[in-house]
Amino acid sequence: MIWLRRIITIPFGLFLFVFLLAAIVLLEVNDTFLDPDYYRDTLRDADIYRWALNDLATVAFDEAREYPPAEIDPDLDENPLVTSGLSTEDFVVALNQALPHEWVQELVEQVLDEPGNYLTGEYDDFAVTLQAGDRVLLMVDQAKDLMRRADAYNLLFEQIVTPTVEEAVRDELPLGIDLTADRAVASARKIVPAEWVQANVENVLDTLTPYAVGEVDQFEIRLDFENQVDVALVEIKDIVGDSDIYDLVYEEVMDPILANTLGQAVDLPHGVSVTEAEITSALRAVAPREWVRDQADLVIDSVGDYVTMKTDELRVDIDLRDNKNRAREVLVEIARDKFAQVIDDLPECTSSQITRIVTVGIDSLPECMPSDARVEQLVLAAVDSLTGEVERAVDTMVLSSVPNTLTYTQADLENALAKAGAADNYDLLEDVREIIGVGWTYDDTDLKADLAEFIDPEAADRLDDIRGFLSDGWTYTDQDLRDLIVDEEGLQTLDDYDTSREWFQRARSWRLVVYLPVAILMLIIAFLGGRTWGSRIGWAAAYLVVSSAIIFFVFGPVFGAFSEAGVADVPNFDDLRAEALEEIEVADNFSRTQLMASNKLIDILETVVNGFASGVAGKAFFLGIVGLIILGVAISWQTLIGFARQWGLLD
């Protein structure tokens, strides 16, 4: 009969193995996946924070430096990270200064701890708070430091200033200045040197940062160009000096005004006319270079005063009296030659015309030129007198038409640019006047207006939300989570969620209850297999030892061998890693970064799996040791009873 009972213990032993395995696995789940500290410890063991901000960031920055510039901006010829002159290490160090791994770790662990313990029922409420304002301050400091060490100034010129200048010089420039893009860029570098740019960029950052983090509600950025204007005027004079100053003074300033004043030509007596071009050419021909240079400087200084808003209008007065006096002889010679040509073009006189000349005489331009020498002398004498009239007309009709003082205004400048098809440059000049004269200002009102215009009307409100976040921090509570669940899924889902929390809490509090079925089965096996208390304890302990040993070997040595070498057609972890990486769609850009992140994730998953198996094996090993101790006690039960009686502990 006893052997039948002991045979019956076998199926109960199988049940014991199953329930023991389930109990150990459930306890391991409770100790790992249901414990928020488990995730914290796993990430710590993986050194994920230092790895992400150093190893992963290094690879990411390396690949960012290889990123095609055309994909960043079609106008870029080189990658800005490369042209900056900064190394990958510089960027990684700056990143770690702004976002140290200790700060990131504290933030992540707060997120894991508070909501995690709430989800498992350990906490009745939670609050996650993120303060990022101080991080922004550090980021700005690091950005300024990188700009100081980088070749940001040259990068600015190569990527922004040079293309803009090249576009501008395609149109005709004010005052007819002939300027190449290279020369313009070189002048721009002198006008706005690196030190000035760096100082103003840092000023902008220092002004914007308190506003961004909510320390102030208003800001105003002001750039003062007053000191740069003097340098600019010197550069303009040098540029003009390299150009034809006669073209500047005459073609761009004087010629258009004289054309309006004189018309196409001035008609003199006796069929002679002097064109406007001949008049300006004469004025230009006799002008000393020093005088022309003085007038060019006068034009530049006047334009400079106008551009810098030292004067409200552009007005250049050029005194032409000396220039007119010097040009008189040239103009007289032109008139004399033209009158001589008129005489040369006269036809030969007929007999009746000769008779009339001899009889009446000549007091005006002759109709013809006689071939008779005696009569010709009469005509030539009259021509000499008429030539004097033409020469005197140069004074009374030509030079008197040329003003003694020529005035050039902004209206003349605008008309000249419009005529050349570069009217936009005049509008640009007016914008520059205001910027240079009063400085360039940009405040919070301008920022919000630009956000509404170029993004959308709600962009300004989002900006205020961001500022509020940076100022007061961001807090997420259990009530926010509950409201989200209700809004997204409904009240029933919230009830189910609360029920789950209660069960999780019970599972955490009554974790050892999972051993109750195991204890019942061991009790049944004990009474079926033994007659005495010693044998009963021995049978229960033996089944516990066998079941624990099987679980230990499956999750210990067997699992370890499987994970390293695989079993039959089942791949090991290295094979699984290779298969997983093959299935990951890696983009052309940042492929090494994605692979590195994927490998790290697989490493963590492998650690989790190995750790879980090791935990199960460890619990089984502990139970096996306990079972062996109990079994040893059972086997030695009679001996122990004898010792107890011998020592008087039992009757």
Residue 629 has pLDDT above 60, yes or no: yes
The domain locations on the chain are 2-33+515-646, 46-98, 100-131+476-506, 133-223+442-472, 229-437
Give Cα 150 to chain centroid, integer Å.
Answer: 15
Ramachandran area for residue 311 (φ above 0: left; ψ -120 to 50: alpha; else beta): beta
Question: Could you tell me which of 265, 261, 284, 263 has the C-alpha nearest to residue 275?
Answer: 265
pLDDT of residue 179: 66
Contact 589, 67 (CB under 8 A): yes
Residue 345 has pLDDT above 90, yes or no: no
Please report where in the chains the tokens 């928020």 appear, as a residue. Answer: 36
Neighbours of 555 (CB within 10 A): 24
Q: Using pLDDT thresholds of 50, 70 and 90, give the confidence band for residue 246.
A: low
Name which of 172-181, 486-495, 520-529, 542-551 the model is least confident about. 172-181
pLDDT of residue 45: 92
Give the whole-number percent of the chain exceeding pLDDT 70: 84
Tokens of 473: 């921090």
pLDDT of residue 568: 53
pLDDT of residue 538: 85
Compute the distance between CA of residue 500 and CA of residue 70 in angstroms, rounded to an integer: 52
pLDDT of residue 117: 81
> Which comes out higher in pLDDT, residue 378 or 620?
620
pLDDT of residue 73: 72
Helix or strand or coil: residue 497? helix
Contact 10, 525 (CB under 8 A): no
The tens digit of pLDDT for each residue in 358-368 reads 777 777 778 78
Average pLDDT over residues 92-108: 89
Residue 49 has pLDDT above 90, yes or no: yes
Residue 581 has pLDDT above 60, yes or no: yes
Compute the distance between CA of residue 298 and CA of residue 316 in angstroms, rounded to an integer: 7
CA distances from 451 to 215, 330, 462, 470, 529 (A): 21, 65, 10, 19, 84
Name which of 115-129, 371-385, 522-536, 630-644 the model is least confident about. 630-644
> Which comes out higher in pLDDT, residue 51 or 486?
51
The tens digit of pLDDT for each residue in 586-619 reads 666 788 888 888 889 888 988 998 899 999 999 9
The tens digit of pLDDT for each residue in 266-295 reads 888 878 888 888 888 888 788 888 887 887
pLDDT of residue 395: 80
Average pLDDT over residues 116-131: 81
| 114-121: long-range pairs with CB below 8 Å, 24+ | 115/481, 116/36, 116/39, 117/36, 118/478, 118/481, 118/501, 119/501, 119/504, 120/34, 120/35, 120/36, 120/501, 120/504, 120/505, 120/508, 121/501, 121/502, 121/503, 121/504, 121/505, 121/506, 121/508
Q: Using pLDDT thresholds of 50, 70 and 90, give the confidence band for residue 552.
A: very high
pLDDT of residue 50: 94
> Which comes out higher in pLDDT, residue 648 or 555?
555
417, burial (CB in 10 Å: exposed 0-12, middle 13-18, buried 19+)? buried
The tens digit of pLDDT for each residue in 203-214 reads 888 888 888 888
Helix or strand or coil: residue 369? strand
Residue 649 has pLDDT above 60, yes or no: no
Name which of 49-63, 163-177, 549-563, 581-595 the model is least confident about. 163-177
What is the reported pTM? 0.65
Please report where in the chains the tokens 């009374």 appear, as a residue. Answer: 396
Sequence-distant (≥ 6) Cβ neighbours of residue 92 within 8 angstroms? 53, 54, 57, 58, 61
What angle in degrees, to the nearest 10, is found between the helix axes of 101-119 and 491-509? 100
pLDDT of residue 647: 66
Q: Using pLDDT thresholds of 50, 70 and 90, give the confidence band for residue 46.
A: very high
The tens digit of pLDDT for each residue in 502-522 reads 877 777 777 778 888 888 988
CA angle at 261 for the pair 255 and 262, rounded to the nearest 5°: 85
Residue 53 has pLDDT above 90, yes or no: yes
Question: Could you tell me which of 550, 526, 524 has the C-alpha nearest to residue 538?
Answer: 526
CA distances from 599 to 56, 277, 321, 594, 605 (A): 11, 81, 88, 9, 10
Residue 3 has pLDDT above 90, yes or no: no
Average pLDDT, the chain: 80
pLDDT of residue 267: 81
Q: Using pLDDT thresholds of 50, 70 and 90, give the confidence band for residue 440.
A: confident
Average pLDDT over residues 227-250: 69
Sequence-distant (≥ 6) Cβ neighbours of residue 214 within 8 angstroms? 133, 467, 468, 470, 471, 472
Name which of 125-134, 319-328, 639-648 the model is least confident about. 639-648
Contact 213, 470 (CB under 8 A): yes
Residue 234 has pLDDT above 70, yes or no: yes
Residues of the chain by 3-state class (helix, strand, coil), percent to 5: 75, 5, 20
Residue 582 has pLDDT above 60, yes or no: yes
Residue 178 has pLDDT above 70, yes or no: no
Average pLDDT over residues 327-337: 85
